[in-house]
Structure 1
Amino acid sequence: MRKRLALTALALATAVTAGLAAPATAARPDPVRKGLETLLRSDGAPGALASVMDRNGNVRTYTAGVGDRDTHAKMPRDGQVRIGSITKTFTAVVVLQLVGQGKISLDAPVDTYLPGLMRGRGIDGRHITVRQLLQHTSGLPDYEDDVTDDILERRYLSPRDALDVALGHETLFAPGAKYGYSSTNYLVAGLIVQKVTGRPLAEQIDKRVIQRIGLRHTYFPAPGETTLRERHPQGYRQESPGASLRNVTEIDPSASWAGGAMVSTDSDLNRFFAELLKGDGNLLLDEDQLNQMRTTVSMGKDGYNAGLGIFSTPLSCGRDDGRVAWGHNGAIPGYGTWAAATDDGRAASVSMTLEPKTGEAIKHLEEAMNAALCS
Structure 2
Amino acid sequence: MLSRRTMLKVGVATAAAGGSGLLRPTARTANADQMTPGVELQEIIDELAGSAASAVVVEVRDFGKVWRGSSGVAELGSAKPVAVTGRFRAGSITKSFVATVVLQLAGERRLRLDDTVERWLPGVVADGDRITVHHLLQHTSGIVNYTNTREFRTLYGTADQVLAIRDRTWTPQELLNFTAGQPLLFEPGTTWMYSNTNYILLALVIQRVTGNHYAKEAERRLLHRLGLHGTEFPGRRSVIAGPHAHGYLPRKVDDHVEPVDITRFNPTVTGASGELVSTTADLNEFYRSLLTGWLLRPEQQSELLQIRSTGRDYDYGLGLETKLVNGIRVWGHDGDIFGCQAASWITEDGRRQLTIAFNPWGNGDPKPSIEKLLAVVFYS
**TM-score, normalization by structure 1:** 0.85
For the structure 1 residues 199 and 74, does the alpha-carbon distance in structure 2 shift closer, same or farther, using more than 3 Å as the test?
A: same
* Superposed counterparts of 1:363-374, under 5 Å: 364-365=369-370, 367-374=372-379
Q: CA deviation at 1:356?
A: 11
User: CA-to-partner distance for each residue in 1:237-266, whole Å, 9 max, x for gaps?
Assistant: 235797322111001111211110010001
Q: CA deviation at 1:167?
A: 2.4
* Superposed counterparts of 1:267-306, under 5 Å: 267-279=281-293, 282=294, 284-301=295-312, 304-306=314-316
Supply the RMSD in Å over aligned alpha carbons: 2.7
Once residues 233 and 279 of structure 2 are traced to their aligned partners in structure 1, the CA distance between those partners, rounded to angstroms, is 13
Aligned 8 A contact 1:51 1:60 in 2: yes
Partner of residue 33, structure 1: 42
Find 1:227's aligned residue among 239, 260, 263. 239
- Which letter maps to 1:260? G
User: CA-to-partner distance for each residue in 1:193-245, whole Å, 9 max, x for gaps?
Assistant: 001111111101100111111111001003x2100111111111235797322
Gapped regions of structure 2 (runs ≥ 5): 1-10, 24-30
What's the % identity of the aligned pairs? 31
Partner of residue 335, structure 2: 330
Find 2:200's aligned residue among 187, 196, 206. 187
Aligned 8 A contact 1:52 1:61 in 2: yes
* Superposed counterparts of 1:56-71, under 5 Å: 56=64, 58-71=65-78
Partner of residue 46, structure 1: 54
* Superposed counterparts of 1:187-266, under 5 Å: 187-222=200-235, 224-238=236-250, 243-266=257-280
- Which letter maps to 1:294? L
Once residues 184 and 355 of structure 1 are traced to their aligned partners in structure 2, the CA distance between those partners, rounded to angstroms, is 28
Aligned 8 A contact 2:14 2:51 in 1: no
Q: CA deviation at 1:73?
A: 1.0
- Which letter maps to 1:74? P
Between the two structures, name the one with larger relative contact order (CA 8 Å, sep ≥ 6). Answer: 2
Gapped regions of structure 1 (runs ≥ 5): 19-23
Aligned 8 A contact 2:20 2:84 in 1: no
Q: CA deviation at 1:168?
A: 4.7
User: Does residue 118 of structure 1 match 2:125?
Assistant: yes
User: CA-to-partner distance for each residue in 1:14-56, whole Å, 9 max, x for gaps?
Assistant: 24227xxxxx98934744324323432342x111110011222
The DSSP-based 3-state class of the residue aligned with 1:268 is helix
For the structure 1 residues 258 and 150, does the alpha-carbon distance in structure 2 shift closer, same or farther, using more than 3 Å as the test?
A: farther
- Which letter maps to 2:146? Y
User: CA-to-partner distance for each residue in 1:62-101, whole Å, 9 max, x for gaps?
Assistant: 0011111122211111200000000000000000000111
- Which letter maps to 2:68? T
